[in-house]
Each structure stands twice: as structure tokens, then as C-alpha cells.
């Protein structure tokens, strides 16, 4: 289920939304790196100003609501981008095919927003970047299938998701500067929204 056999053109044709998401992340990372080099300003500072999710204890609720989405397409460094990009590249395609491009796009963005909402209400002073909230939303969508539609996934794919989630939870707790709340919020968002999708689609075809 998660093994990718498509060539580059097939991947773009079969998974257009996923391709656009990955392209935006890469272009944004390269663009901020180029701007940092050109203007002599560290890239993290530019990202904090122009798109990162920034919450201070004095500020309270983040007033610039576009940051709830823009921060999902920015990453702290190349390793961060590579990690999330790989997860999106490998694990998202079956979900895009199952849901359709538009519903998948909404789930990705909704999960990212939910991750930042959890961050806003449960984390302290924080500067957050990355698509990991959306990635965990993808995992949450698969967990919905695993619980309520067991035949939708093969046993090996279920084991893969279970293993990744166990490792991810431990990693989120043990490793410093990892936004556990974004992961949790994204996971909840993906699980709930995929449940709503399934209920709506089932009702439509009855």
C-alpha cells in the first residue's frame, strides 16, 4: 500500500495535490534560503517574520490567522523538510486516491490548522514550523480506517502505521524542540475529518 512504484510523471498525474504540497514546501525552503543569503538575515528569523507559527505568552492567541496554514509549508532546516517530505511522499498517496484530491487537500490543511490550534492552547511560548501536524493528520485518517473499516487496509500497512505512531510518540516526548501538541492536534483532526468523510460518502451511496 505504501510502496511507490510510479515514475515521476505518473506520480504527478495520480497525486496532483500531494505533488503541489511537496513543491510548495521545497520552493519555500529554497526561497527562504536564497533570501537569507541575499539579505544576510538568518532564515529562521525570516520564517518567523513571514510565515511561522509564533506564540508568545504576552500575545496569547495568535492574531494572524494565515500563520495557522503558512507554517505547515515552512521547515526549520533541510533535515526537517526531508523527514516530513518523505512521510508525505510515501504515506499520503493512497489517502489522496481514496478521498479524492479536494477532500485530501482539505484534510491536509485542516490537520495542519488543528495542530496549530492545539499548539496555541496547550503549548507555552513557541515558534513552530513544519508539516508534521498534517502528516499526523494523515496517520489519524489511516487509524480511522484501522478501527472502523478494517478491510480498507492490508495487515502489513496497519503494522507500518502502528509502528510509526509508536516511534513518533516516543520521539515527540523524548526529543527536545519537537511539537507534541501539533502532532496530537493534527492526528485528532485527520481522524475526525476522515470519519466525517466516510459517514457522508456512505450516506450518499445508500
pLDDT digits (tens, 9 = 90+) for 131-141: 999 999 999 99
Residue in the structure block whose three cell numbers are 459517514: 199
Tell me how crowded residue 83 is: count the other CB atoms within 10 A of its CB. Answer: 16
CB 194 within 8 A of CB 107: yes
- 107-148 pLDDT, tens digit per residue, is 999 999 999 999 988 887 788 999 999 999 999 999 999 999
For residue 2, tell me if it sits in a domain: no
- Please name which of 175, 198, 170, 18 lies closest in space to residue 105, comparing C-alpha atoms: 18
Q: Which domain holds residue 102?
A: 8-204
Q: Looking at residue 149, which CATH number applies to its domain?
A: 1.20.1540.10
For residue 54, tell me if it sits in a domain: yes
For residue 3, tell me if it sits in a domain: no
- Give the C-alpha separation, 194 to 199, whole Å: 9
For residue 12, tell me if it sits in a domain: yes
pLDDT of the residue at 162: 97
C-alpha grid cell, residue 55: 506564540
Q: Which residues are catalytic?
A: 132, 183
Q: Which residues of the chain have pLDDT under 70?
A: 56-63, 203-206
For Cα atoms 73, 65, 196, give the angle at the middle one, nearest 5 degrees.
75
The answer to whether the predicted template modeling score (pTM) of the entire model surpasses 0.85 is: yes
Q: Which residues contact 178 (CB under 8 A, 6 or more apart)?
A: 171, 172
For residue 1, tell me if it sits in a domain: no
How many domains does the chain contain in total? 1
φ, ψ of residue 53 in degrees (nearest 5): -90, 110
Amino acid at each position: 500500500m505504501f510502496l511507490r512504484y510510479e515514475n515521476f510523471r505518473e506520480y504527478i498525474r495520480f497525486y496532483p495535490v500531494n505533488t503541489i504540497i511537496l513543491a510548495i514546501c521545497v520552493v519555500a525552503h529554497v526561497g527562504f534560503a536564497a533570501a537569507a543569503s541575499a539579505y544576510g538575515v538568518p532564515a529562521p528569523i525570516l520564517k518567523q517574520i513571514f510565515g511561522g507559527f509564533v506564540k508568545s505568552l504576552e500575545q496569547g492567541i495568535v492574531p494572524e490567522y494565515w500563520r495557522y496554514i503558512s507554517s505547515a509549508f515552512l521547515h526549520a532546516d533541510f533535515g526537517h523538510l526531508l523527514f516530513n517530505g518523505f512521510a508525505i511522499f510515501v504515506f499520503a498517496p493512497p489517502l489522496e486516491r481514496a478521498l479524492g484530491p479536494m477532500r485530501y487537500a482539505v484534510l491536509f490543511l485542516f490537520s495542519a490548522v488543528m495542530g496549530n490550534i492545539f499548539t496555541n492552547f496547550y503549548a507555552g511560548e513557541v515558534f513552530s514550523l513544519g508539516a508534521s501536524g498534517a502528516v499526523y493528520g494523515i496517520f489519524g485518517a489511516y487509524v480511522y480506517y484501522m478501527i472502523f473499516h478494517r478491510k480498507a487496509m492490508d495487515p502489513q500497512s496497519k503494522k507500518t502505521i502502528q509502528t510509526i505512531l509508536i516511534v513518533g510518540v516516543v520521539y515527540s516526548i523524548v526529543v527536545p524542540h519537537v511539537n507534541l501538541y501539533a502532532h496530537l492536534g493534527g492526528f485528532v483532526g485527520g481522524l475526525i475529518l476522515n470519519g466525517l468523510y466516510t459517514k457522508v460518502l456512505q450516506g450518499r451511496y445508500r
